[in-house]
Amino acid sequence: MPVLHIRLFGLLATIWGGVLTYFYVSMRVSKYLAENFHHFILLGGIGMIILGVYSIINPQEKEPSSCNHHEDHHHNHDHSHCCDHEHDHHHTHEHKHHDHKHENEHEDHESCCDGHHAHDEGHGPGVTYLLTLVPLLIAMNYTQDRFSDAGLARQGAYEAPPVSSAPFTREDLEKNVPKNARGEFQLSLVNAYYAGGDRELHQVLADLPVEIEGRLMEEKVNNSEGKRRRLYRTFISCCAADATVAGISLDFDTTNSEIPNQSWVKASGTLTFEEHQGRTYTVVKVNSMEKAEEPYSEFLQRNR
Amino acid sequence: MSNTVEAQLQDGSFQFLAIFLEGLPFIFLGTLVSGFLGTFLPRNAFERFLPKNKTAAVLVSGLLGAIFPVCECAVVPVIRRLVRNGLPASCALAYMLAAPIFNPVTAISTYKAFNDSWTMTGSRLGLGYAIAVIVALVMARVAHSTYIKASELEHAHDHDHPRTLTAAMHNSLKDLMDVGVYFAIGVTLTALLKTTLIDPTTDFWKGLAENSFAGTPAMMFLAFILSLCSTSDAFIAANLANFREAPKLAFMVFGPMMDAKLVFLYSTVFRWKFIFGLLVALFILTGASSLFVEYSLEQWKPDPPQIPLNP
């Protein structure tokens, strides 16, 4: 690889590493990845910066004497003028696609033994910069670190819970779920969502006083009177691309709250279950709602 | 710009960054390993410990993921260097296809995702290994120049390159750039398709869940588009509650072997014609074997316990 190419590639590796490190340091990474991936981002970022800077500083082998070919060199061209060793010229395969250039033909190629000769089958720096940086810059320009409302819907925000057994019982609830000062169960939104799919649990949990935390969005299911909002949480395995959104309905007795969509809130009220078009949805009849602090990570993890 | 296009741009950008950030450190790790392996690993080192018999060598290579666990992003630059260092192409293929599935990390995540189910875990690992080995054994009978890119073969000539830190760093950098381009293309395509073509909440996708013969190819198509990491895709499959065993299994076996970003990553090593053939072969093999596993499980399922009428 020519020295200039190595330096340009080194710069690109440094930029990629810088992007990773920036996402980690700015904590924006928590909007994209599960927590157990965050340290990989930092390590990968630092590693790429080291690789990039090292390549910029050392774009070529410093000791030509290290070009010590121990074994037979099977080429059909003469390297002897750039490396003081014998080649025997047995050829085991055809080199139809390229010519091994001689030292004086290499652009900026002081060392003939840089490990690659002229095997540069990859893309040049121009194409590599174009194909990697353009989508990255576009993405960084248009992202808002979250799904749009349409995107949330595609990830399942308005879907009814699957018909299955909820992952907890009433005993689990009494034992594990804390209560707030008003005596309301501080139930996870995901558990409230899945409870909708378990008919046996409906009778156990119906009319339970609960406080549920989540993010607000517009309600589009069974909301002809416009008195409802949707509360959702996103759960992931690794990254936002594998996200599933679980949503429950908040029913306000009189009018909707003034708190804007996408705010984090704690809604207190009574847990109920409602049939709509043959599916069961979880609905909380809201008594009160207040803004909540945004958690460090947007996501709940599936494997926890 | 209309609201729809704006929303798609926002979601596409969000998903692009999510996959890019998730995958890039592992791509880097893979290229770092490949660069150092390519520099310091003695040529034909693998010939020393792999069985001389071609079939046995492929069978052993398919198991290497248990010792050297790598995800599908990291494995491509690694096998690329190993092929250059003299690892037989068929063995590299077996390792490349099996390792993302047949490794302890994937085994544990599958086991946990399916509520401690040995059946799904065993079926996934078994199918992944079997399919990888079958494909590799078939390709062992074909001249590797017909499916390995000419440029990779040109690298595999019989001489040592300098074994220095700088050479290793340059090799890593070169691999990172080569693979990074295809990774970026693959991620862009994945984000684009996910925000325009695929909507699992539509009736069409829901309807597929009722029939495994339709659901299995559909889930493989979905796995191809979603391009998920093999270490965690089991959690997605397990949450596709309405699908039966065959579609879920096909999703977890096909995806780590072939997806939108992998097509481009594979093109750094293999010829395009071979990649297309591999895609078709994996699609058929995975689909048919997943349906067979589902059928077998149904046959062997124990009868439901009888509830005594007069306890």
Enumerate the residues of chain B whose CB falls inside 8 A of the CB of residue A220: none
Q: Which of B13, B15, B150 sits opposite A138 (nearest CB)?
A: B13
Collapsing DSSP states into helix, strand and coil, what is residue A39? Answer: helix
pLDDT at B274 exceeding the cut of 90: yes
- Give the pLDDT confidence score for residue B275 in this predicted structure: 95
B25/A20 Cβ within 8 A: yes
**In chain A, which among 17-46 make CB contacts under 8 A with chain B?**
20, 23, 29, 32-33, 37, 40-41, 43-45
Q: What are phi and psi of B161, to 5 degrees?
A: -95, 165
Give the orientation angle of helix B118-140 with respect to helix B104-113, to 10 degrees.
Answer: 140
For residues A43-65, average pLDDT = 86
Would the pLDDT of A105 be above 50?
no
Testing the interface with B: which of A142, A149, A159, A165 to mutate, by most B Cβ within 10 A? A142
In contact, A111 and A61? CB cutoff 8 Å: yes
- Average pLDDT on A70-95 reads 40
Mutate to test the interface with B, among A42, A62, A63, A121 (most CBs of B within 10 A): A121
Structure tokens of A179? 């209560």
Residue corresponding to tokens 């509650």: B241
B185 in contact with chain A, both atoms CB, cutoff 8 A: yes
pLDDT surpassing 50 at residue A109: no
Please name the residue of chain A whose CA is at the shortest distance from the CA of residue B153.
Answer: A93
Average pLDDT, chain B: 84
Taking an 8 Å cut-off on Cβ atoms, the answer to whether A69 and B173 are in contact is no
pLDDT value at residue B78: 85
Interface of B with A in 1-20 (CB under 8 A): 4, 6-20
Q: What chain B residue is nearest to A40 in terms of C-alpha separation?
A: B25
First to last CA, chain B: 70
Which residues of A fall within a CB distance of 8 Å from B235?
Answer: 237, 242, 302-303
Higher pLDDT, B280 or A205: B280
What share of chain A has pLDDT > 90, as a percent?
Answer: 43
Contact A92 B239 (CB under 8 A): no
Alpha-carbon span A266 to A24, nearest angstrom: 28
| Sequence spans of domains, chain A | 3-145, 150-301
Q: State the residue for tokens 């290994």.
A: B129
Q: Render chain B in DSSP notation, one character per residue.
A: --HHHHHHHHHHHHHHHHHHHHHHHHHHHHHHHHHHHHHHSPTTHHHHHS-SSHHHHHHHHTTGGGTS---HHHHHHHHHHHHHTT--HHHHHHHHHHTTTSSHHHHHHHHHHTTS-HHHHHHHHHHHHHHHHHHHHHHHTS-GGGTB-HHHHHHT-S-PPP-SHHHHHHHHHHHHHHHHHHHHHHHHHHHHHHHHT--TTSHHHHHHTT-HHHHHHHHHHHHHHH---TTTHHHHHHH-TTS-HHHHHHHHHHHHHS-HHHHHHHTTTB-HHHHHHHHHHHHHHHHHHHHHHHHHHHHHPPPPPPPPS--
Distance, in angstroms, between A226 CA and closest chain B CA?
22
| Residue from the list B6, B160, B199 with its beta carbon closest to the beta carbon of A70 | B160
Nearest chain B alpha carbon to A149: B7
Judged against a pLDDT cut of 80, whether residue A66 lies above it is answered with: no
Residue A295 φ then ψ, to 5°: -70, 165
Coil/strand/helix, residue A45: helix
Interface test with B, best of A32, A55, A87, A237 (most B CBs within 10 A): A237
Nearest by CB to B236, which of A70, A144, A237? A237
Residue of chain B whose Cα is closest to the Cα of A41: B25
Residue B201 confidence class, pLDDT cut points 50, 70, 90: confident
Contact: B199, A154; criterion CB under 8 Å: yes
| pLDDT category of residue B94 using cuts at 50, 70 and 90 | very high
Q: Are B169 and A134 in contact (CB under 8 A)?
A: no
**CATH number of this structure's domain A150-301, picked from the four choices 3.10.450.350, 3.40.50.150, 2.40.50.140, 3.50.50.60:** 2.40.50.140
pLDDT band at B31 (very low <50, low <70, confident <90, very high): confident
Euclidean distance between CA atoms A3 and A5, whole angstroms:
5
The answer to whether the CB atoms of B10 and A143 lie below 8 A apart is: yes
Instruction: Map residue A251 onto helix, strand or coil.
Output: strand
pLDDT classification of A77: cutoffs 50, 70, 90: very low
Of A93-107, A179-193, A208-222, the poorest mean pLDDT is in A93-107
**Which range is least confidently modeled, A82-91, A153-162, B21-30?**
A82-91
CB contact under 8 A, B162 and A115: yes
H or E element in which residue A258 lies: none
Tokens 């010519």 correspond to A99
**Sign of torsion, CA B189 B192 B195 B199?**
negative
The more confidently predicted of residues B203 and B240 is: B203
Q: How far apart are CA A75 and CA A64, in angstroms?
A: 20
Q: What is the mean pLDDT of residues A261-285?
A: 90
Interchain CB contact of A66 with B (< 8 Å): yes
Tell me which residue of A123, A129, A127 sits closest to A12, measured CA to CA.
Answer: A129
A164 burial (CB, 10 Å; 0-12 / 13-18 / 19+) is exposed
Q: Is A60 on the interface with B (CB under 8 A)?
A: yes
A-interface mutation test, from B1, B20, B148, most A Cβ less than 10 A away: B20
What is the band of A117 on the pLDDT scale with cuts at 50, 70, 90?
Answer: very low
Maximal C-alpha separation, chain A: 92
Higher pLDDT residue, B20 or B39? B20
**CB < 8 Å from A in window 233-292 of B:** 233, 235-236, 239, 241-242
Residues A129-140: what's their mean pLDDT? 95
Q: How far apart are CA B3 and CA B12, in angstroms?
A: 14
The pLDDT of residue A102? 41
pLDDT at B116: 76
**pLDDT value at position B182?**
82
In this predicted structure, the answer to whether residue B32 has a pLDDT above a threshold of 60 is yes
What residue has token string 């001389």? B52
Contacts of A143 in chain B (CB under 8 A): 10, 13-14, 17
Find the CB nearest A238 among B10, B22, B173: B22
**Cβ–Cβ contact B105 with A under 8 A:** no
DSSP letter at A102? P
Partner residue opposite B173 with nearest CB, options A51, A148, A240: A51
CA nearest neighbour of B81 among B143, B171, B145, B164: B171
pLDDT at A41 over 50: yes
Does ipTM come in above 0.85?
no
Which residues in chain A (88-127) have CB-CB distances under 8 A to chain B? Answer: 92-93, 95-98, 113-116, 119, 121-123, 127
> Which residues, in sequence order, are bridge partners of residue A33?
A239
Contact yes or no for A44 and B201 at CB 8 A: no
DSSP-derived secondary structure for B68-94: S---HHHHHHHHHHHHHTT--HHHHHH
Do residue A238 and residue B43 have CB atoms under 8 angstroms apart?
Answer: no
* Eight-state DSSP code of residue A173: H
Nearest Cα residue in chain B from A5: B174
- CB pair distance less than 8 Å for B174 and A148: no
Residues 6+ apart with CB under 8 A from A300: A188, A190, A233, A234, A235, A236
Test B171 with A115 for CB contact under 8 angstroms: yes
Q: Which of A25, A39, A43, A48 to mutate to test the interface with B (most CBs of B within 10 A)?
A: A48
